[in-house]
Structure 1
Amino acid sequence: MLKLTYTKNSFNLDYLNIPLENWVNQRVNLALTTGTNIYMEPSTAAFLLPTESSLLAILEKLAQANLIEFCFCDSSWLEVTLKGIWITSTANSETGVFLTNLTPSVELLLQQLSQKQQLCHA
């Protein structure tokens, strides 16, 4: 599972070796226990990667397999879009956690790219 955390000033992508359903259940239980609001909806999340020729071939294969979507922003950056679940405390919040389930190899690849490259949230 990939967890993308969006805060006011930053963006972080983490690979978690836990089933998405287990993580969501833990989060719901935490909200119930602490009496805090929780809001979830199916959604998409996007982030930017620098355009590199070696990266493009990999992303094209993932897009053909319908695992991700990507498009060019300009000659230097491309936007990667993932489908998953948006979790936050209020419906219109721009800060929260986005979770997605892809194949483990794709998740590890995106996580490695996030460590090697400077990602920006879109």
Structure 2
Amino acid sequence: MLKLNYTDVGLYMERIMTNPELLIAQRVLLAMRLGQMLHVEPGRASFLLPADIPELEELEAALQREYNPNSTILLVDDASVEVNLSGCWMAESKEAQEGMFLALMSDSLSETLRERIERFIYKLWQMSEAHISSPA
């Protein structure tokens, strides 16, 4: 599963092997014990990648071949694409700009294929972060 953390300084993504339901339950329990509000809802999240990453075509082909309606890649402009994922949003309130998003791939995909696509998305995000932070 992919976990996207949206913070005031940007996006941080990580791959985690925890069961999504268990992670959500643990987060709800933590919020209750701390007396904090927690809003949990199904939704969609997106992030940008450079459009010139060569491996992007391979990801698009894999998503089209497997018809994964929970993940889409859309051209934003000449320089970037938007990767759009379905999953679960958790934040302090419905209007919060900061929170955690758990990207959940379609249950119709085999576990092996789901993990392969998640690894690939994560790899491309890491490559884009290295591309952004490297000096021009």
Q: TM-score normalized by structure 1?
A: 0.89
Please give the per-residue CA displacement for 1:19-50, whole angstroms capped at 9, x wherever unaligned. 11111011011011111111011110000001
RCO greater where, 1 or 2, for CA within 8 Å and sep 6 or more?
A: 1
Please give the per-residue CA displacement for 1:68-120, whole angstroms capped at 9, x wherever unaligned. 11111111100110001110011100110000123111111111122221289
**Greater C-alpha radius of gyration:** 2
When the two chains are superposed, the root-mean-square deviation of aligned CA atoms in Å is 1.8
Hey, what does 2:120 align to over in structure 1?
109
1:17-32 to structure 2, matched below 5 A, reads 17-32=17-32
Q: Which sections of structure 1, spanning at least 5 residues, go unmatched?
A: none
Hey, what does 2:50 align to over in structure 1?
50
Q: Which one is further off, 86-95 or 48-57?
A: 48-57
Does 2:92 align with 1:81? no
2:85 and 2:103 in contact (8 A); partners too: yes
* Distance of 1:33 and 1:53 partners within structure 2: 44
Runs of 4+ off more than 6 Å: none
Identity, in percent, stands at: 31
Q: Which sections of structure 2, spanning at least 5 residues, go unmatched?
A: 106-113
* Distance of 1:93 and 1:6 partners within structure 2: 10
| Offset of residue 53 of structure 1 | 5.8
Aligned residue-pair number: 120
